Amino acid sequence: MVQINRDHVASPRLGTSLRCGVTLTKTSPGMADPVSRLLQWQTEVESFQSQVDSLEATARDLEAYNSERDNLSEKVERQASKVEALREEIFSARFSQARMLNQAKEKFSTLQYKIIQIQLTVQRLRKRVEASRAAAGGGEAAGGGAAEPSGV
């Protein structure tokens, strides 16, 4: 412990009050070196405290950053889930469209086939009508006119 010369009053300008409550003065014998060391230590302590404060602020910033990152990660996961649901919906819609298109193609092909059948039937009927008219025309010359064939 440091002895203080009680005959002299410590000047606030010359002495320093440390946290331990000791006041050192210039008039104490052999105190110039310990005073400067104590002042240096106090400066170092203040520097360390400043660094601690800075690190605590950085830690708070990192916690806020991590919290924001976690929130954004959750949002990304929700969006990814929505995207996946939309992909499934699009796939389902495309599959449904492809099925309907195939059904429409089948119906179209069936209708084309029926149209071709009807056209062939019409051609055959026209040929029959022409053949009947020709036969009726030939009978007209021989027998004096025949009636239109029935069912045509």
Q: Across residues 19-23, what is the average pLDDT?
A: 44
* Residue of 87, 152, 92, 93 lying closest to 122 (CA atoms): 152
- The pLDDT of residue 36 is 85
Query: What's the pLDDT score for residue 37?
Result: 87
96-110, 115-129, 135-149: range with lowest mean pLDDT:
135-149
Any residues with CB less than 8 A from the CB of 133 and at least 6 apart, and which? 149
Given a cut of 90, whether residue 129 has pLDDT beyond it is yes
CA dist., res. 126 & res. 138, Å (int): 18
Q: Does residue 81 have a pLDDT over 50? A: yes
In this prediction, residue 4 carries a pLDDT of: 46
Given a cut of 70, is residue 13 above it in pLDDT? Answer: no
Model pLDDT, residue 97: 96
pTM: 0.41
CA pair distance 77, 71, nearest whole angstrom: 10
Band of residue 108 on the pLDDT scale cut at 50, 70, 90: very high
